[in-house]
Structure 1
């Protein structure tokens, strides 16, 4: 959500920032809606003030025995009481109109975000690790997975497309990855482990910028709740409506949860394999910070996600997203893309974003800076640390052997109950 006062003060800068994201100018329309809102609020306030004033004057007139004045004032109060509901509704409608306009405008990019149209304009920041040389032609995970317990057919029979049933050592490896990630983020990186709800209300989805724009990308229950597309929603919304104690910032939260996405905007993409599922698990990282700390926190969070890939020995690259590829609520985003030798390509495995105060304004989440009476909005950040299913895919493709078996990365051996290699079924 944007600050209408900032837009009023510098409409040209606001429209210029929107243009970087390929969006049409909005400042004039927003300022016009705000003028209507303020005028409606002024008329309502004036009517309420006059009603209160006239009510007091009635008693004074009666005390003086001036019944004529008292009766005239009573008539005026009666008229004001009749028109006040309409003025209140007009003011509410004007508030809603402005809020609805603001709700669908994306966050403005940070100054150092490259301007571009799509992923082709993203900027590679760094790479890590050496791509493994194979003495054979490496296969994609969808080809080696079924013999190891990645059952696409049963998942589709039970639930339809984009669902997978994991069995045996494959399920154990998936669990090991999730536990390793969670232990690393809590034990070494200082995140507090949480177990949040995976069903949330409209306010939580709106506050984390998933509504109204992306309603079709999520699943809704018959009682009006939403299945979380990521635990970013639950974790970030945990400070919704709060004034946070300055002394406890930054707050760093993590959770391992199932996530649910309809993939409405991804028709035809990654229909084969385990890359893009309707249900998947992810270890999410969320930070709540002071504004002056959010840039450094963004770098720290991204490094925490990178540490998982490094510990697993998975080559990857770090990419700074351009304005045209960045998410709706982000002001700056790093993607981590892991190397998949079976595909011969880098694929996204983590996205770490700084949203500035964009979500905090929607949630009304604030803190009181030290030595100040007024509150200010916090900054919120979120990132994957990591997507468990995609990490499983990366392990299968990078650690595959010619006979179709897959070695377990050394970092996971303590979680595997003595299993050091997944062997294909006979």
Structure 2
């Protein structure tokens, strides 16, 4: 049976992608070897190296006279580039305001290059390079396959009471961030409820739910039945084992939301939506009570964690308003015992932006993100890659309420790359077929 599986993988792995470009090979390999990079302690370094190297090559090709096709949404790419520069400007001004010194400015700028700037860079790369979203989807399914293969061993490690931590990679000296980004762990025990959680290749368990949801949605758009099944099973398995509350919510909501938002021009859907709104209005009270009860149950499942997050949010907002309204504090600060010494400005992207970057940085990221979301809604009515990109925006939007987007840029970069791909106009990416809500989006193109 195992030999049959290996032969199937060999025969189907890249049969559809024999003519892959060099750029596609780089991106696909960076995703496929996620677990290997993690075991080497190099995962934190791969995305910055790949992103900035390809960005430098893109600029060099542009300076050498290579022409890039004119696209109607080029202004949005320029807006994302300005966003990265605005975030850097607010960082420098905040450091000057609080007399943090030149050394801190340099260190924080390096962090900016590996975080906020990297998001814009991958959007530019997805927009400018000839990358097929199908290649990224296949690579995500391969990650799901590896997750299926390693999960029994990780579960057994907990059952046999093996050490939680294997080792800390010596490459930590090159990262500049905390040791959790270079620590290889078999499992962890939740300090709030004593239950096991698995990080797989992430620095903390909820981050697995974040990345696995990105790969899960990619699997929804995979055409090959074998790889689609593997991708869906493997990535959903990671979400469940990570015990991520937000991950489970997003797993249910995002595929449904993408299906609905990409059907806004269909008459039958508008009629169905009107009936649905009417039904919600009639049964509003029981529906509202059900939703409220569900939210309270989710919060109660890890009450201490919820308390810490709410305290961090309150402190961040209060100190932003009273101490650094326009440009923020420049850096995160370690909290008190009240918040389990968690950094102020963490655990929530938007509160973190206000605390660290101020109102300038907050608007500098919010405006292009919202504009991108609405542009993708329009494009999703006729373009398949834009539907996938729209789903990525939804995932990022949901997780921005519980995670710091910047800190996980090195793992979530495929989502930003796919957003860049989805922003493009593509004649060969028009889909007129209905998508199956409980199945997958069938990719059948037709010429305009």
User: Which TM bucket (shorter chain)?
Assistant: under 0.3
The structure in which a higher percent of residues are helix is 2
TM-score, normalised with respect to structure 2: 0.22
Give the strand-richer structure, 1 or 2. 1
* Larger radius of gyration between Structure 1 and Structure 2: 1
